[in-house]
Chains A and B, each alone.
Chain A
């Protein structure tokens, strides 16, 4: 089985780093899209390649709740 690919690392100061570009992630605009609805948010983004980091607790928490609410609509 292939090793899990990491797109980011956390440096000793706790900063999120983009593995591909070797630069710190910065606060940037992103949009969650689901069932024709869009939600503008700001998340850690790589300023070079555009990689967006979605924290696990956000994905399993608020984002999952929004998906369920949209499915109920």
Chain B
């Protein structure tokens, strides 16, 4: 049964094509046909129609880009952002370098291949200024390549603070944080809030497959260093069919054992773009599949029903649950809220993510000569530290791209040539690895 129409791209030539969503017993599929390259079909939801429709918590409020440009070529070729886009943005990725100290068989940024020169400090300054002029401040994700290969990283963070940004997360493999004494402190003192740590398993064979070598001990050392320095850590596992689906529960248990330094887990089912040594499976991991894995592998600690879809972005791009860790180690799912737990706009989302993922949040500075409220601060900090977040984002590739979802994207890559480009447009590659924007 056909349940909806949208637009997508041909995975061979990336031409925009009509697409339709089809409901079958075993899931929801996105079907499309390119006049030149034929028909394509991709599983987008592993569940029945009722579960698909029930998941939709889409917020239809208007929250468009600031100073968007007029579209010319049509979505997804006008990014920067254009006025047809529906979200102003929450988190912005700055790709500080294309260099990397690993050579992962799986890398959306295809880092390390004939790397261009690093972004200069002047270019980074211009990008910060561009962001402030187009709806900033946003949360900043310092990314790459591997951003810690740059020795001026602390200076880049301080520059961002001076420009008015308040939340910085480091997208890293953790190798330098694990190896270099004092490095975590240096980044923390510069203003870094969170380490977004690639963490795919508690089994080194998985790292060999996805990252090219054993890494578990270094990951653990990185977490220890961040904890000692007061940096929040979010574990970011890529989950690939046939590689590490069985690691979901172990990762969650490890994260809870290392809370509150580990603030949460953010799953990213593998997307088939950039450099990807793995073949795209017939049934890639969808949101319901991942929630089922979470429930099956955590012995009743977490349940699929604890989770809900994104509020600011498309509900079908992400999932999220927040928990209070009780003293006995059990988890209490926290209710979804209009603000805080659930985000209804890019700004709500930005604040909520920053509070949950940071290692430390400065107390509200409202006290004066007649007011002293540190007891409230202490309680709030304790409550924040006992909150644990489990979330995930399902990126789109050339096979399952839905332009309706893309228009609600609020995670963008910053590129001096274009401006702010939604993540899944920026990283989109065809089956030969050719990109629209990179």
Contact = CB atoms under 8 A, between A and B. Distances in A.
A57 B366 contact: yes
B380 A69 contact: yes
Interface residues of A, number: 24
A28 B65 CA distance: 47
Nearest to A69: B383
B371 A55 contact: yes
Interface in B311-363: 324, 332, 334-335, 337, 340
A69 B379 contact: yes
Contacts of B335: 72
B369 interface: yes
B101 interface: no
Given A16-B370, A58-B366, A72-B334, A41 B380 contact: no
Interface string A62-73: 110110110011
Given A62-B380, A72-B335, A41 B373 contact: yes
A23 interface: no
Given A68-B337, A68-B340, A62 B376 contact: yes
B35 interface: no
Contacts of A27: 369-372
Nearest to B363: A62
Q: Which residue of A16, A37, A55, A63 has the most chain B CB atoms within 10 A of its CB atom?
A: A55
B373 A62 contact: yes
A57 B371 CA distance: 12
Contacts of A62: 364, 366, 373, 376-377, 380
B375 interface: yes
Interface string A49-63: 000000101100111
A66 B376 contact: yes
Nearest to A73: B324
Given A69-B379, A69-B383, A25 B370 contact: yes
A39 B370 contact: no
A62 B378 CA distance: 11
Contacts of A55: 366, 371
Nearest to B379: A66
B384 to A, nearest CB: 8
Contact of A39 (B332, B371, B379): B379
Contacts of A66: 376, 379-380, 383
Contacts of B334: 72
Contact of A58 (B332, B340, B373, B375): B373
A12 interface: no
A19 interface: no
B377 A41 contact: no
A57 B376 CA distance: 14
6 contacts: A43-B373, A55-B366, A58-B373, A62-B373, A66-B376, A72-B335
Given A27-B371, A63-B376, 9 more contacts: A27-B369, A27-B372, A41-B371, A41-B376, A43-B370, A62-B380, A68-B337, A69-B379, A72-B383
Interface of A: 16, 25-27, 32, 37, 39-44, 55, 57-58, 61-63, 65-66, 68-69, 72-73
Chain A to chain B: the 6 pairs with minimum beta-carbon distance, closest first: A42-B372, A69-B383, A44-B370, A39-B375, A27-B370, A41-B373
